[in-house]
Amino acid sequence: MSDSIPMTKEGYDRLQEELKNLIRVERPKVVQDIAEARSHGDLSENAEYDAAKDRQGFIEGRIKELNDKIARAQVINPSELNTDKVVFGAKVTMFDVDSGNEVTYQIVGEDEAEIKDGKISVTSPVGKALIGHLIDDEVRIRVPSGLRIYEIIDIKYE
């Protein structure tokens, strides 16, 4: 798979930090845990050894996944975008027609999405539906709870 993965600088930096931690801290620790578990004797009935080997497999898999994502990363700086449409990185303020509330979401990469921080994935139903729309557009979005109707009231790139 060679498709690029869009992400903000913040998301890219977070992946880099996680990778460094796995390589510099977690990997050496699990190797030490395996060595210690081996010293306890019979490996066939050694739960500590099995747990450490499982943890090692997880860490190595995550390192591989992070290396792949970082290699394919397309870092996008929203403040450098000059458009009046909703695109990746936009902070979109919307009026929820049904509830009468305003909500603001930033459209980010899959690894950065955190709904409690107002960050939604570009591949989520809401993210997909917003892409390409302008201020004052009415957007109908099918979400698990049903059909939501939003009016876009502001788009910012910060």
The pLDDT of residue 19 is: 97
Question: Any alpha helices (H) in the chain, and if so which ranges?
Answer: 9-21, 27-38, 47-71, 125-130
Tell me the whole-structure pTM to 2 decimals. 0.78
- Say what the pLDDT of residue 1 is: 46
Specify the pLDDT at position 3.
87
Fold type of domain 78-156: Chitinase A; domain 3 (3.10.50)
Run means of pLDDT, 10 residues per run, the chain, 158 residues: 82 95 96 87 78 94 96 89 88 92 93 92 92 94 87 92
- 5-75 folds as Helix Hairpins (1.10.287)
Residues 17 and 127: their CA atoms lie apart, in Å, by 26
Q: At what angle do helices 47-71 and 9-21 cross, to 10 degrees?
A: 150
Contact 91, 155 (CB under 8 A): yes
Residues of the chain with CATH 1.10.287.180: 5-75
Query: What stretch(es) of the chain map to CATH 3.10.50.30?
Result: 78-156
Q: How far apart are CA 138 and CA 73, in angstroms?
A: 32
Burial label, 141 (beta-carbon count in 10 A; 0-12, 13-18, 19+) = middle
